[in-house]
Amino acid sequence: MGDPHEFRVLSTETVYEGRVISLERATVAMPGGGDSVREIVRHPGAVAVVAVDAEDRVVLVRQYRHPFGVPLWELPAGLRDADGEPPLETAKRELAEEALLSAARWSLLTTSYSSPGFCDEKVLIYLAEELSDVERPAGFVVEHEELDMTVDRVPLDEAVQRVFDGDIRNASALIGLLAAAQARVGNPRLRPVDSD
């Protein structure tokens, strides 16, 4: 018998392959004996950006989210779906596409596993500062939910209160806003911007 904490994958099977996600069924040998079937949502990963301007206002976008049937307040964010694009470059692109902004200073606030019990989505949440206006990137087409998306700037303290009021519920926004607020008062040591 192997290490008592060893989990071994005995088999995997792709059940569904979609445009963004796939569903995999894995049979895993349990350390105490026997095996168990796990269903895993495979996801390309994502980035989110806490963009804070010189007046300590954070950029929020309001976008319709079909699973809940309502628009949600979120951070500028997007999938890591461009082959070979480093996550920081994805964050820069998403900030330009969604908020028409660029930033001179970038930090990695934190990395989040959205729902590790069944999904491998990893979200890197960046802090973007020293903002300036930019044109929408060439070739980017605004379509679908983004046609109705609105952009607002809210004082960071107010955005944090909106988390506690239940007005902001998107997980990346919750994590990013609270991390940015803590970074302002606690001065934590942030990881290098190219970390994962």
> Looking at residue 88, what is its pLDDT?
97
Model confidence at 4, pLDDT cuts 50, 70, 90, reads low
**Could you read off the pLDDT of 11-63 as tens digits, one per residue?**
999 999 999 999 999 999 998 889 999 999 999 999 999 999 999 999 999 99
One-letter amino acid at 130 equals E
> Looking at residue 1, what is its pLDDT?
43
- Residue 74 annotated among the catalytic residues of the structure: no
CA dist., res. 10 & res. 108, Å (int): 36
Of residues 157, 165, 163, the one with CA closest to residue 185:
157
pTM of the model: 0.91
Considering the candidates 24, 85, 129, 146, report the single residue annotated as catalytic.
146
> Looking at residue 32, what is its pLDDT?
84
**Could you read off the pLDDT of 80-139 as tens digits, one per residue?**
988 889 999 999 999 999 999 999 999 999 999 999 999 999 999 999 999 999 988 887
- Sheet architecture: strand order including 57-65: 70-74, 57-65, 150-155
